[in-house]
A and B are shown apart, each in its own frame.
Chain A
Amino acid sequence: MNWWTPQVEATLIAMVQAVVILLAVVVSGALLSMIERRLLALWQDRYGPNRVGPFGLLQIAADMLKIFFKEDWIPPFADRTFFVLAPAIAMASLLLSFMVIPITPGWGVADLNIGILFFFAMAGINVYAVLFAGWASGNKYALLGALRASAQTLSYEVFMGLAVMGIVAMTGSFNMRDIVNAQENVWFIVPQFFGFCTFVIAGIAVTHRHPFDQPEAEQELADGYHIEYSGMKWGMFFVGEYIGIVLISALLVTLFFGGWHGPLLPPIVWFLLKTVFFVILFVLLRAALPRPRYDKVMSFGWKVCLPLTLVNLLITGAMILLIDPGV
Chain B
Amino acid sequence: MSDPVSAWIASYWATGLFVVAVVALCGLMIGAASLLGGRSHGRSKSLPFESGIVGAGTARQRFSVKFYLVAMLFVIFDIEAVYLFGWAVSVREVGWTGFAAATVFILILLAGLVYDARVGALDWAPRKRGREDASRARELAAVPGVERHAR
Chain A residues within CB distance 8 Å of chain B = 6-7, 10-11, 13-15, 17-19, 21-22, 26, 67-73, 75-77, 84, 87-88, 91-92, 95-96, 99, 109-111, 117, 137-143, 147, 150-151, 154-155, 157-159, 161-162, 165-166, 168-169, 172-174, 222, 227-228, 231-233, 235-236, 293-295, 298-299, 302-303, 306-307, 310-311, 313-314, 317-318, 320-321, 325-327
Contact = CB atoms under 8 A, between A and B. Distances in A.
B26 A91 contact: yes
A102 to B, nearest CB: 11
A311 to B, nearest CB: 8
Contacts of A69: 36-38
A116 B73 CA distance: 23
A314 B107 CA distance: 10
Nearest to A106: B1
Contacts of B19: 96
B140 interface: no
A232 B30 contact: yes
Contacts of A326: 92
A293 B2 CA distance: 55
B26 A313 contact: no
22 contacts: A21-B18, A70-B38, A73-B37, A91-B25, A91-B29, A92-B22, A96-B19, A109-B11, A137-B59, A151-B67, A158-B81, A159-B81, A165-B88, A174-B89, A228-B49, A232-B34, A235-B29, A302-B116, A313-B88, A317-B99, A317-B102, A320-B92
Contact of A233 (B18, B33, B50, B91): B33
A96 B87 CA distance: 27
B88 A306 contact: no
A19 to B, nearest CB: 6
Decide if the interface of chain A is mainly helix, strand, loop or mixed. Answer: helix
Nearest to B56: A140
Contacts of B133: none
Given A140-B59, A306-B113, A19 B17 contact: yes
Decide if the interface of chain B is mainly helix, strand, loop or mixed. Answer: helix
B103 A10 contact: no
Given A77-B48, A169-B88, A320-B91, A155 B70 contact: yes
Interface of B: 1-2, 6-7, 9-11, 13-15, 17-19, 21-23, 25-27, 29-30, 32-34, 36-40, 46, 48-51, 55, 58-60, 63, 67, 70-71, 73-74, 77-78, 81, 84-85, 87-93, 95-96, 99, 102-103, 106, 109-110, 113, 116-117, 122-125
Contact of B30 (A14, A140, A173, A236): A236
A71 B37 contact: yes
Given A6-B2, A155-B74, A168-B89, A110 B123 contact: no
A222 B48 CA distance: 12
A33 B70 CA distance: 33
Contact of B13 (A15, A151, A159, A166): A15
A75 B92 contact: no
B14 A75 contact: no
B46 to A, nearest CB: 5
Given A169-B88, A236-B30, A231 B110 contact: no
Contacts of B70: 151, 154-155, 298
Contact of B6 (A6, A96, A110, A150): A6
Contacts of A14: 1, 10-11, 13-14
A9 to B, nearest CB: 9
A317 B87 contact: yes
Nearest to A171: B89
B50 A71 contact: no
Given A18-B17, A96-B19, 14 more contacts: A7-B10, A10-B9, A68-B33, A68-B37, A72-B33, A110-B11, A139-B50, A154-B71, A161-B78, A165-B81, A228-B48, A232-B30, A235-B29, A313-B88
A101 to B, nearest CB: 12
A92 B26 contact: yes
A299 B89 contact: no
A249 to B, nearest CB: 19
A6 to B, nearest CB: 7
A321 B96 contact: yes
A222 B96 CA distance: 53
Among all A-B residue pairs, the 5 with the closest Cβ atoms? A232-B33, A295-B124, A14-B14, A14-B10, A295-B125
